[in-house]
Amino acid sequence: MKLLMHTCCAPCSVYCIDELRSENIEPVVYWFNPNIHPYTEYKLRRDCLKEYTKSINVESIFEEKYGLDNFCRGVVNRLDTRCQDYCYPVRLAQTAKYAKENGYTHFTTTLLVSPYQKHDAIIEVAKQMAKKYNIEFLYRDFRVGFKVGQAKARELGLYIQKYCGCIFSEEDRYLSVTGNKPNLPEGFEFLPVTPSINIKKERKNKEQYMELLLEADPSKEMINKYLSDGELFVLTYKEEIVCIAVTIKVDNDTIELKNIVTKKEYRKNGFGKKMIKYLVDNYKSKYKKIIVGTTENNIPFYVKQGFDKYEKTINNFFVDNYNEKIKDGDLVCTDLIYYSKDLKKK
Ligand code: SF4
């Protein structure tokens, strides 16, 4: 089976991809969503999906079509039936057509995961498109895994939107007094959500993590200087240790992140980000700021996590404090550059 999966956003793709992979089906993600407005929202969802698919090694195709004009023209005379009469047909027709023209045997859509969508209408439209373009539609009731997928998306720090996509759904979301209720068949049950990520402070035997800590700071001597007085946090994913962080108090207002490391095979999956968020939440009532000393290569990562204020540079830190040359990728490290995050900023 060669499957093209129309994908509306990263959070909705999480369960669908996991479920298909558990059946040994490798989907190719297909982004075609001219229904998402305004452009800033479109870009946020698209870029999040790009990053997520890359992180889990799923092939993806992005049709760059921001379609505000056509979409509004298409729905203006049928606002009440816009989903089934315009939005699903436009997206699924393009998916089925692309799939047929590019050698896929099947197509499906992540729209099938949301209990808030008109599930039966999606099936109906998909069947029509399958017939029109002479290609198989793969149906799965992904709705059972909606909560599991959303919980995992939250754990991974993926961007989670607050409305379906079009400006009309944005209005519904904010003006609706009763709230949008999912429309589910009688007796329907979601799969239970069990958190797969846990973070806890480790008080005893911190030396057991030395091997992993050395991946971020290659001097045992340096690590020993902050490990005994520092606080060590362990992030586990499905009960496996994946990410470690060590912090140390600088003064009554400041805490320093001294070491953060994610196991090689789990990098680029958002675990470091998750750990930093946890530390920030944990320390914001106690300290005014959190600082981090880093190499040049890692500045963009920390700025993205809110460490946006430059503090100071310790020139030749890596030359003066380490016996061997310290490398970060191709960069030979010399200076230690400090940035901070304001913990009181809303
Ligand atoms: S509510 Fe969602 S599915 Fe319906 S038209 Fe708007 S974007 Fe499309």
Question: Could you give the CA distance from residue 338 to residue 199 in angstroms, rounded to a whole number?
Answer: 25
- pLDDT given at position 289: 97
Distance 36 CA to ligand 1 centre (A): 8
Distance 114 CA to ligand 1 centre (A): 12
DSSP SS3 for 243: strand
Distance 28 CA to ligand 1 centre (A): 23
Pocket of ligand 1 (CB under 6 A): 35, 82-83, 87, 164-166, 168-169
Tens-digit pLDDT string for the chain (346 aa): 999 999 999 999 999 999 999 999 999 999 999 999 999 999 999 999 999 999 999 999 999 889 899 999 999 999 999 999 999 999 999 999 999 999 999 999 999 999 999 999 999 999 999 999 999 999 999 999 999 999 999 988 899 999 999 999 998 887 765 566 787 888 899 998 877 888 999 998 999 999 999 999 989 999 999 999 999 999 998 889 999 999 999 999 999 999 999 999 998 888 999 999 999 999 999 999 999 999 999 999 999 999 999 999 999 999 999 988 888 888 899 999 999 999 998 7
List the residue whose alpha carbon is closest to atom 6 of ligand 1: 166
- DSSP 8-state code for residue 290: E
Helices marked H in 23-67 — which ranges?
Answer: 39-55
Distance 84 CA to ligand 1 centre (A): 9
Question: Could you give the CA distance from residue 157 to residue 184 in angstroms, rounded to a whole number?
Answer: 27
DSSP SS3 for 313: strand
Pocket perturbation via mutation, ligand 1, pick of 169, 172, 176, 183 by most ligand atoms within 8 A of CB: 169
Backbone angles phi, psi at 126, to 5 degrees: -60, -40
Ligand 1 atom with least separation from CA of 75: 5
Q: Yes or no: say if 64 and 52 are a contact pair by the CB < 8 Å rule.
A: no
DSSP code string of 144-164: GGHHHHHHHHHHTT----SS-
> How many angstroms from the chain centroid is the CA of residue 206?
30
List the residue whose alpha carbon is closest to atom 2 of ligand 1: 164
- pLDDT given at position 178: 54
- pLDDT given at position 204: 87
List the residue whose alpha carbon is closest to atom 5 of ligand 1: 83
Q: Yes or no: say if 25 and 59 are a contact pair by the CB < 8 Å rule.
A: no
- Is the backbone of residue 238 left (phi > 0), alpha (psi -120 to 50) or beta? left
Which residues face 313 on adjacent strands? 337
Domains of the chain (ranges; CATH) run: 3-175 (3.40.50.620), 197-342 (3.40.630.30)
Query: What type of residue sits at position 99?
Result: A
Q: Yes or no: say if 190 and 147 are a contact pair by the CB < 8 Å rule.
A: yes
What pTM does this model have? 0.69
